[in-house]
Structure 1
Amino acid sequence: MGLGCLLLTGDAMLLEVIRTNFSAARIGIELRTDAASAIELSARRHLDSFVIDCDGVSGAMDLLAAIRSSRSNKASVVFAVVNAKTTVSMAVEAGANFVLGKPVQDKPLRGILDIAILRMEREHRRYFRHAVDVPIQLSCYTGATFAGKIKNVSEGGLALNLFGSAPVESVVTVQFELPSTDPQTFQAKAEIVWNDAFAMGLRFLRIEPGCRSFFEAWLDSLEA
């Protein structure tokens, strides 16, 4: 599924054990050795998981705080690695899902990964954007409607190209036909999170009852 992880550490031994076990689970690693660049990367895009060397990198706990306060990564899986200074309870209270002590051993790490990977896959699916070309209609509370075409879609939202002017409201109703041999109509309330003269990005706020199962089946078909 192409899962990814940001690893913050300057410890060669920790890097080796994480890289070996995560690679075996088909999880790609992006390495950062300083907290500032790790925070900058986490602010720019979604990552499925993080491994943070809490006591081995200055400012590492600032990364954990930034992750949990961000919109795109607040639900990502965080593995905290501690070494005496940071306690297990401190790491958990800061937002870590799993805590490992140094030196990290293969067997306990694999056990945690078996549990964590399902959640990581869920996060990946929520953010992964499938390229599509599907007509869509937006409606405002005033009754005004706007047409466009979806250019990519995920479980959490979509981006579209507009035909004409953009809505001025921050929340709209979206409607489009889910492509299949038995088309179903998808409807949802969505928040406009960005827009320009020709395109916009939407985040789903509420998917109408009865639409979600068909929508998820369609996303599954796009992954096939």
Structure 2
Amino acid sequence: MMSRFSRTGSEKPRFVTLSSCSKVAHVLPQMRTDSKDYSTTLRYYEVSISLMSIGLALLVSADPATIQQFSLALRELSISPDACQDAASAGLLLKRRKFNAVIVDFQLGEQSGHILDEARLSPSNRTAVTFGIGDNDAEVTSAFREKSQFVFERPLSAQLIHKTLKSAYGLILRERRRYFRYPVSIPVIIRSQSMQEVRCFSLNINISAGGMALSTQVPLLPGESVRIQFTLPDHTAPLLAESTICWSKTGHLGVRFVSISDEQNSVLRGWLSQKLEETLPEFVAGQFQKGRSLGTTRIGLSNAETDDVLRTHFIDPAFLLGRKRAWGTPHVAQSSTRLAWN
């Protein structure tokens, strides 16, 4: 049994006791883990927790001090840690949750290799950014180094951890962007061959570039083809998507978009991009500074290449320039031609 730190919205920090790996989510006051609808509640809650940070990291180590060090460093970068102490617990978490990063302590020995292998084989986590925490035994570290993209070398320090995480920050943001979902309450029209057109207003919709989950009593089965029509908030033109029901539970449906026009897909992705940018912490923009001075440039990119990198990470360069006045400090210089880390 272990305790983990959790923060929910504007609430004060609280400690939550976890008696099993089935209770892996951060805890909300209204969340009941003994409820029959726990898995559905967890699905919707994960959307909420995702808006509080830029990513979620699985942290696996048997050393409490290491867990504490990395948890603090991750939170400083607005990444939520989900910690466990062994391969069995990590395996359960990898099956239940989507992680943007996986950090494994090589002091776990053979277990560390199994965890990294399982992450790579996981349908949800195979693209997660992987880190290893070096062992004092050079042979052990060398054996597992090839399984991870980044390695933290011991002895550990706050500065070293922060520096390594910072170098991987862009990759974590890109991974976050791939699975970004945003909760909305909008009318949705569902059409299928098995029933007449159904209009519903769902208070629990989360939408991504690839589909949506919504609350509805419409009886549809997984694999069934439907056409979904909806209008994004602050938009007037409806979006149409040929779709497939990918999961169905009492009162809830998961829909995967199969075909959507290029124009409407661009509108949807642009809207999601804006919503993601609004959720990013202020300091994220500061990670991407432009400057003409070659002496301060660490990544040599042209202006066009720089903007392309920002867009790849779902960050609109124009948006960052617009934030300059709101934040009071010039995070991005308009006359820039180079990208540099702080």
Structure number with greater Rg is 2
Please say if 1:183 is aligned against 2:236: yes
What is the CA distance between 1:102 and its match in structure 2?
2.7
**2:161 aligned residue:** 109
For residues 101-128 of structure 1, give each alpha carbon's deviation from its aligned partner in whole angstroms, at most 9, with x where no partner exists.
3333444433332232233233334435
82-91 vs 57-66, which deviates more?
82-91
In structure 2, the CA distance between the partners of 1:9 and 1:146, relative to structure 1 (3 Å rule), is farther
TM, length-normalised to structure 1 = 0.78
What is the CA distance between 1:38 and its match in structure 2?
1.5
Please say if 1:70 is aligned against 2:114: no
35-44 vs 51-60, which deviates more?
51-60
In the aligned structure 2, how far is the partner of 1:24 from the partner of 1:69? 29
Counterpart amino acid of 1:46? K
Q: Is the 8 A contact 2:222 2:247 kept in 1?
A: no
Aligned mate of 1:157, from 211, 234, 252? 211
Aligned mate of 2:228, from 165, 168, 174? 174
Aligned mate of 1:209, from 262, 270, 280? 262
In the aligned structure 2, how far is the partner of 1:87 from the partner of 1:206? 46
In the aligned structure 2, how far is the partner of 1:146 from the partner of 1:123? 36
Matches for 1:1-40 after TM superposition, within 5 Å:
1-2=52-53, 3-40=55-92
What is the CA distance between 1:9 and its match in structure 2?
0.5
Gaps of 5+ in 1: none
In the aligned structure 2, how far is the partner of 1:28 from the partner of 1:174? 33
For residues 24-59 of structure 1, give each alpha carbon's deviation from its aligned partner in whole angstroms, at most 9, with x where no partner exists.
212222221111112112211112222101333552
In the aligned structure 1, how far is the partner of 2:232 from the partner of 2:60? 41
In the aligned structure 1, how far is the partner of 2:212 from the partner of 2:269? 14
Q: Is the 8 A contact 1:14 1:103 kept in 2?
A: no
For residues 160-204 of structure 1, give each alpha carbon's deviation from its aligned partner in whole angstroms, at most 9, with x where no partner exists.
233533156445443322222x42333344443211353211234
SS in 1 for 2:168: helix
Q: Is the 8 A contact 2:223 2:246 kept in 1?
A: no
Equivalent pairs counted in the alignment come to: 220
Q: Is the 8 A contact 1:126 1:156 kept in 2?
A: no
For residues 61-116 of structure 1, give each alpha carbon's deviation from its aligned partner in whole angstroms, at most 9, with x where no partner exists.
22222222222222222212232344557443x4x232233333444433332232
Counterpart amino acid of 2:215? N
In structure 2, the CA distance between the partners of 1:86 and 1:222, relative to structure 1 (3 Å rule), is same
Aligned mate of 1:133, from 185, 192, 205? 185
In the aligned structure 2, how far is the partner of 1:204 from the partner of 1:6? 29
Please say if 1:219 is aligned against 2:264: no
SS in 2 for 1:178: coil
**1:81 aligned residue:** 133
In structure 2, the CA distance between the partners of 1:69 and 1:204, relative to structure 1 (3 Å rule), is farther
In the aligned structure 1, how far is the partner of 2:225 from the partner of 2:149? 33
TM, length-normalised to structure 2 = 0.54
159-168 vs 192-201, which deviates more?
159-168
SS in 2 for 1:184: coil
In the aligned structure 2, how far is the partner of 1:89 from the partner of 1:176? 51
Please say if 1:200 is aligned against 2:253: yes
In structure 2, the CA distance between the partners of 1:174 and 1:57, relative to structure 1 (3 Å rule), is farther
**Structure 1 moving runs of 4+ over 6 Å:** none
In structure 2, the CA distance between the partners of 1:111 and 1:79, relative to structure 1 (3 Å rule), is same
